[in-house]
Amino acid sequence: MAGRLSGKVAFIMGAGSVGDAPTGEDSPACWGNGRAAAVLYAREGAKVYAVDLDPESSEATRKIIAAEGGDGLSGQADATRADQVERAVGACIDAFGRIDILHNNVGGSAIGGPVDMGEDIWDANIEMNLKSVFLTCKYILPLMERQGKGAIVNISSVAALCCGLGRSMVSYHTAKAGLIQFSRAVGIQYAKKGIRSNCVIPGLMHTPLVAHRLAAQYGKGDAEALIRQRDAQCPTGKMGNAWDVAYASLFLASDEAKYINATEIVVDGGFSAV
């Protein structure tokens, strides 16, 4: 039976994952949001061009896809550099001839408010979370326009909706909220051209980021304690995982969502409703 994305090409920015390549789907320590989306898209029939800042990580994603019989290539790019993004997009076109799905997964937080945060940290965080999406859209939207069809899936964050995460992250809150409005604006601008633009808004997720980055960033190095704390913050009693984000993304990328545009799917177990 044909998959939900059969015949489509997906360009995924941020398709790697911190930590080792996964050995099983039930291991949150190995599956990041971008990697899970890339593998799921491939399982559903898409040809995947997996891009990451870390070429070894995007290549690990490609190897998983290949081992499952999927079709994919890997690439490397700094998503905040226009020349590198343009080169990656060109490489995807050279390989597959088109781009039907753009999936933007690049992001990261920085601690601090407007007084104590350095200007360089603010600039870097806005670039990582917001400029990265601007750049991929800049180079891919003209291709989709010529095709007369395309789907953009941008990964925002529950930090765009609420500030009760127990710490100040003014640049992250701002960038992820801006991403929602950016996504809406693109969706409206290109709606008559057959291009949809939507956001997935993950809540607290158990991904490799928790142990590999967040524990050191604000968990005093204690990953297990941080996991317990984050689980307790969720109405369900535990965090979601990368597959929750990936399946929501798959729906928005597929033709099943052909009349869904310029909006968001919140995947947070009810966190933002509390």
Q: Which residues are catalytic?
A: 172
Q: Are 99 and 150 in contact (CB under 8 A)?
A: yes
* Residue 100: closest CA among 39, 52, 143, 61: 143
Q: How far is CA 132 from each of CA 87, 196, 212, 241, 272, rounded to the nearest angstrom?
A: 14, 18, 22, 23, 25
For 164, residues 6+ apart whose C-beta sits below 8 A from its C-beta are: none
Sign of CA dihedral 118, 124, 125, 127: positive
Exposure of 227 in the CB half-sphere (CA atoms within 13 A): 14
Residue 196's beta-bridge partner residues? 151
For 118, residues 6+ apart whose C-beta sits below 8 A from its C-beta are: 112
* Residue 92: closest CA among 130, 144, 127: 144
* Residue 260: closest CA among 198, 182, 189: 198
Residue 75 to residue 68: CA distance in whole angstroms: 19
